[in-house]
Amino acid sequence: MTDTIPTEFEVLDERFAAIGGDDQVEILHTGTRWAEGPVYFPAGRFLAWSDIPNERMLRWDEMTGAVGPFRQPSGYTNGNTLDREGRLISCEQGNRRVTRTEHDGSITVIADRWQGRRLNSPNDVVVRSDGSIWFTDPPYGILSNYEGVAAEQEIDGCHVYRADPVTGEVRIVADDFTRPNGLAFSLDERRLYVADTRERHLRVFEVGDDGTLGGGKLFAEGGDRDSYDGMRLDDTGRVWVAAGKAVLCYDPDGTLIGRLKLPESVANLVFGGLKRNRLFVTASSSLYSLMTNVTGARPVWAGR
């Protein structure tokens, strides 16, 4: 029998009052050292996620509830997503690269260097409908041997990158971050949200037709309480962000309208299930799940 805890929504704005779901949050698994990077595979009806310090990825089966190994060693994988063909895209902190797992199980390196210098330790990744791959590159995987492999930083700074789907060119699209982390596109893909964990804020950029970013204005500030990590959008454009011991919900205008409180520090989240209305949350030692009345944004593999 799956363990549960009471669902605790905090309504901060009337726009959040109608959001709800099960009155119990399920604890699908516990025992990881630092759970991250949840990704839902609709074709197999399972969720995979990262346990970074243990250098492994785990797999939860939606049909049976069973948890088992997905990949080990994992290269200290952090963030994950799916591309337009349903292939796994992963940020391997320890190997300092972004990879694609092909349908036959082989691994293709998407990016591991910029201008000949090794990346820091790719953290989180999103795919746009044009096939371009966007990722953040803070140094967490090279600071020690806990979340990766201790090494010298070869690139001056921590940036946001774009890998071109045709040429494979890797270029910096934003270079004024301290610790870039989670990122997500708006529903129309004309904006890109990026979290800066060290600065405790979220910024939003305008995405040009040529794949460049403009603007970068402040979208939300966490203050002393909230340090932002991973994020996803729902199908109304609301931004759901991992921060502290909660999942925060922001209206598209930047107003914090509510939060889902959890007992552990939250790292990342994803909407999954047959109707994309099941919220999966990775938090410290555990994987949580809540069936909600919210539907996640249409993923890139489903078309726009």
304, pLDDT greater than 70 = no
Percentage of the chain modeled with pLDDT above 90: 96
Of 51, 124, 226, 229, which one is the catalytic site residue?
229
Confidence of residue 107 (pLDDT cuts 50, 70, 90): very high
Tell whether the model's pLDDT for residue 227 goes beyond 70.
yes
Mean pLDDT of 238-263: 98
CB 37 within 8 A of CB 77: yes
- For residue 130, pLDDT over 80 is answered with yes
181 is in an annotated binding site: yes
145 annotated among ligand-binding-site residues: no
Q: Kindly tell me if the per-residue pLDDT of 225 is higher than 90.
A: no
Asked if pLDDT for residue 126 goes beyond 90, the answer is yes
36 known ligand binder? yes
Q: Average the pLDDT over 130-147 and give the result.
A: 98
Question: In the prediction, which pLDDT does 102 show?
Answer: 98
pLDDT (tens digit, 9 = 90+) per residue, 78-95? 999 999 999 999 999 999
Q: Is the pLDDT of residue 110 over 70?
A: yes
Q: Is 229 a catalytic residue?
A: yes
Q: Is the pLDDT of residue 172 over 80?
A: yes
Residue written as token pair 């919220």:
279
Instruction: Report H helices in 132-195.
Output: none
* Res. 287: pLDDT tops 80: yes
> 73-78 — which CB contacts under 8 Å span 24+ positions?
74/50, 75/99, 76/52, 76/121, 76/141, 76/147, 76/148, 76/149, 77/37, 77/50, 77/52, 78/36, 78/37, 78/50, 78/52, 78/121, 78/122, 78/123, 78/124, 78/140, 78/141, 78/147
pLDDT tens sequence across 34-82: 999 999 999 999 999 999 999 999 999 999 999 999 999 999 999 999 9
Res 156: pLDDT: 97
Average pLDDT over residues 244-260: 98
State whether CATH 2.120.10.30 applies to domain 4-291.
Answer: yes
Is the confidence at residue 301, as pLDDT, over 90? no
Q: Are 7 and 290 spatial neighbours (Cβ–Cβ below 8 Å)? A: yes
